[in-house]
Amino acid sequence: MPETVTHDPEAEAGSSTTEPRLARPVRKDETVLHDRGLYVERWLPERRSRRRPLLLIHGELGGSWLWENYLSYFAQRGWEGHAINLRAHFWSDTADLASLDFWSYLDDVEAGLAALDRPAVLVGHGMGALLAMKAAERMGAAGLVLLSPALPQSVGPQAPSHVVRLVPPVFRRGLIGWDGALGAIVARDADLTLADVRRIQHLMGAESGAARRQMLEGVPIDRAALGDIPTLVLGAGLDDRFPETESLALAGWLGAEYQPFRAHSHFGLVVGEQSHEEVADAVRAFLEAHRL
């Protein structure tokens, strides 16, 4: 069974006020994997440390922009952060999204992992968490951090067939409920500010329908292949696409540590200017406990 860490917002808020805000120098640069046209945004501490690098994998309609708060947070604390943009996302080369699917995205993640010179911790969000699990199964990983993860085939439940069939070849933010009025989204995702919502809406691009259909149908994961990899699953109580109960179920299936954030939304876990830091604190505690 997963190790569940009780989330006490008041206690965490009290502790965070006693920790001085870091202002350590950070270097920003980029890597372009030319053979695949992939842009990797990197935030590095001033001095290289022995900590494991973090490979940050976005989910649907995302990009390296999703991880800006995490890149800054972890670089100031000694971790290299490498945020990959999957094909046809953000600054990576354009491609025909209708021709891409989950498996072509997996090839991108594996290319990003191979480009690092040492074992990495894979940090994935939504569909990116499912990509992280599959990449770790096939290539290994120093650790896994799965935020509001999409579920593997064995955990379920899978979407009804008629829901899968309705996914178009290419879709945009309206399909996942992000094309509405700003105020309505803030009311639904209460941990996000109006500025957060504006930024997310502005940066969301388009997405492969085939990748979403395959995610909904369920991608098989060999649990035994992940057995020795330290894993943390984080669930968001306000997430209506990847419910917190499903995150808990995945943690149980993996035998992973589990951290619920019941006042957080799907994007609030990573993008929220006022909500990301306590989640990043939990990830840091996990990394330090496992000397990653």
Question: What integer is the mean pLDDT of 213-241?
Answer: 96
**pLDDT tens digits, residue range 58-85?**
999 999 999 999 999 999 999 999 999 9
Cα 101 to the chain's mean position, in Å?
A: 18
Maximum pairwise Cα distance, the chain? 52
In this predicted structure, the answer to whether residue 95 has a pLDDT above a threshold of 80 is yes
Provide the 8-state DSSP code for 95. Answer: -
Give CA–CA dist 231/133, Å, rounded.
Answer: 10
In this predicted structure, the answer to whether residue 6 has a pLDDT above a threshold of 80 is no
Give first-to-last CA distance, the chain, whole Å: 22
Count of domains for the chain: 1
- Assess contact for 247 and 233: CB atoms under 8 A: yes
Residue 13 pLDDT: 36
Domain CATH for 159:
3.40.50.1820
- Confidence (pTM): 0.91
3-state secondary structure of 82: strand
Domain that holds residue 19: 3-289
